[in-house]
């Protein structure tokens, strides 16, 4: 039996004891050596992309959307500088730095703040969740990641080439595209998990062992964790879809409705996997119990018939000097007769009791 139910790391990072609210501390693991701060600035006809080191000098340009992307959360000074440049609330910055958040959406006076969890398949049966924070403000989207993410590359490519609608629409559509890429990551993750479940089922059938049972419980445990991460996503998407946020334009709201749909599909899939795993275990345990019953019945029948017979044989194997039966000429056949009668009687009783 291996360790299967580690306390998930996000439960270990929720604590930040004694500090005053608004104190900026990075709570979580440093997953990247150096922070990278990149900008994408695009309008209908052009797109500019570069790495920068500070945001102080960033100017607003009319009719363009600015996407500021920070990979790595340990450089508190930089995050504070970003906060000052774009007038972000300290509580918001604090949440960005604390990677133990649940997915949520918060409206501030002049911006929307969204926290999401990205699903990473880190090993054969292992998943990790990484925090992504998004700030939407006028023509600006700022995204904060624990480490650089590949999943955004196709989107970046489309931005550069001006494909599709992305350059035509505003910052709210950009935010939608970032969120959509993250949800798409869940779909790939779920497919991977689905494959693992099928593998595990095959193993359970072909060669059930302690290890397989543990794998199933481990997967079920992970479905529970995943469910907790995915469930609040629905509320986030729901709030966005209903256009309750001023920052979301009406024609973008439709895309958030699509996002909401995807979120529901993810939740559905996680629930379905959990049900499948539970059903698989129940089935296996029922079968075990059913077979055990047949096996034990055989032992009982064999035992119940032969133990008394062996006793009788034992009796006449005793070496007493005076045992009259031993001298009788028909003693031996008589014993056989007794034994046969006994056996037949017991078989009859068993038959009558429906054991056979």
Are 211 and 125 in contact, with CB atoms under 8 Å apart? no
CB of 189 to its own copies, least distance (A): 10
Determine the Cα–Cα distance for residues 165 and 354; give it in Å rounded to an integer: 74
Q: Is 254 in the site for its own copies (CB under 8 A)?
A: yes
* CA angle centred on 163, ends 61 and 142, rounded to 5°: 45
User: Sign (positive/negative) of CA torsion 24, 27, 33, 38?
Assistant: negative
The residues, ordered by sequence, that sit 6+ positions from 37 with a Cβ below 8 Å of its Cβ are 51, 52, 53, 55, 68, 69, 70, 71, 78
- Residue range at the interface with its own copies (CB under 8 A); choices 31-39, 63-71, 136-144, 187-195: 187-195
- Between 60 and 157, CB nearer to its own copies: 157
Q: Is 75 in the site for its own copies (CB under 8 A)?
A: no
- Give the DSSP per-residue string, 268-300: HHHHHHHHHHHHHHHHHHHHHHHHHHHHHHHHH
Are 100 and 27 in contact, with CB atoms under 8 Å apart? yes
Instruction: State the binding string over 115-154 for its own copies (x if CB under 8 A, else -).
Output: ------------------------------------x--x
CB of 159 to its own copies, least distance (A): 11
Q: Is 170 in the site for its own copies (CB under 8 A)?
A: no
User: Sign (positive/negative) of CA torsion 171, 172, 175, 177?
Assistant: negative
Determine the Cα–Cα distance for residues 116 and 93; give it in Å rounded to an integer: 15
Q: Is 197 in the site for its own copies (CB under 8 A)?
A: yes
Instruction: State the binding string over 203-242 for its own copies (x if CB under 8 A, else -).
Output: -xx--x-x--xx--x--xx--xx--x--------------
Q: Is 246 in the site for its own copies (CB under 8 A)?
A: no
Are 22 and 239 in contact, with CB atoms under 8 Å apart? no
* CA angle centred on 194, ends 189 and 195, rounded to 5°: 100
Instruction: State the binding string over 27-66 for its own copies (x if CB under 8 A, else -).
Output: ----------------------------------------
Q: Is 345 in the site for its own copies (CB under 8 A)?
A: no
Q: Restricting to residues 277-306, name those near its own copies by CB under 8 A.
A: 279-300, 302-304, 306
Q: Is 348 in the site for its own copies (CB under 8 A)?
A: no
- Between 73 and 280, CB nearer to its own copies: 280
Q: Is 276 in the site for its own copies (CB under 8 A)?
A: yes
Q: Is 91 in the site for its own copies (CB under 8 A)?
A: yes
Q: Is 340 in the site for its own copies (CB under 8 A)?
A: no
CB of 201 to its own copies, least distance (A): 6
């Amino acid at each position: 039996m291996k360790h299967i139910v580690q306390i998930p790391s996000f439960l270990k990072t929720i604590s930040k004891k004694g500090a005053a609210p608004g104190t900026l501390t990075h709570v979580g693991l440093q997953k990247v050596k150096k922070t990278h701060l990149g900008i994408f600035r695009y309008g209908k006809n052009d797109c500019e992309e570069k790495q920068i080191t500070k945001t102080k000098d960033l100017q607003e340009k009319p009719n363009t959307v600015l996407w500021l992307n920070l990979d790595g959360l340990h450089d508190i000074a930089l995050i504070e500088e970003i906060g000052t440049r774009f007038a972000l609330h300290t509580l918001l910055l604090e949440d960005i730095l604390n990677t133990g958040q649940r997915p949520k959406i918060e409206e501030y006076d002049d911006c929307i703040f969204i926290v999401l969890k990205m699903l990473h398949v880190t090993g054969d049966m292992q998943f990790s969740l990484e925090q992504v924070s998004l700030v939407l403000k006028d023509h600006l989207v700022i995204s904060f990641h624990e480490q650089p993410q590949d999943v955004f590359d196709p989107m970046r490519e489309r931005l550069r080439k001006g494909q599709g609608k992305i350059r035509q629409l505003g910052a709210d559509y950009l935010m939608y595209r970032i969120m959509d890429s993250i949800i798409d990551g869940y779909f790939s993750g779920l497919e991977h998990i689905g494959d693992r479940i099928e593998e595990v089922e095959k193993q359970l059938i072909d060669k059930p062992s302690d290890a397989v049972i543990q794998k199933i419980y481990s997967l079920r445990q992970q479905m529970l964790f995943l469910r907790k991460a995915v469930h609040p996503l629905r509320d986030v998407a729901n709030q966005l879809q209903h256009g309750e946020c001023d920052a979301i334009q009406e024609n973008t709201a439709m895309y958030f409705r699509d996002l909401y749909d995807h979120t529901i599909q993810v939740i559905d899939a996680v629930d379905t996997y959990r049900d499948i795993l539970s059903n698989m275990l129940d089935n296996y345990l029922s079968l075990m119990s059913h077979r055990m019953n047949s096996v034990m019945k055989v032992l009982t029948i064999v035992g119940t018939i032969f133990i008394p017979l062996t006793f009788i044989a034992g009796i006449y194997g005793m070496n007493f000097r005076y045992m009259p039966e031993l001298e009788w000429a028909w003693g031996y056949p008589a014993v056989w007769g007794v034994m046969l009668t006994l056996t037949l009687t017991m078989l009859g009783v068993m038959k009558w009791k429906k054991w056979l």
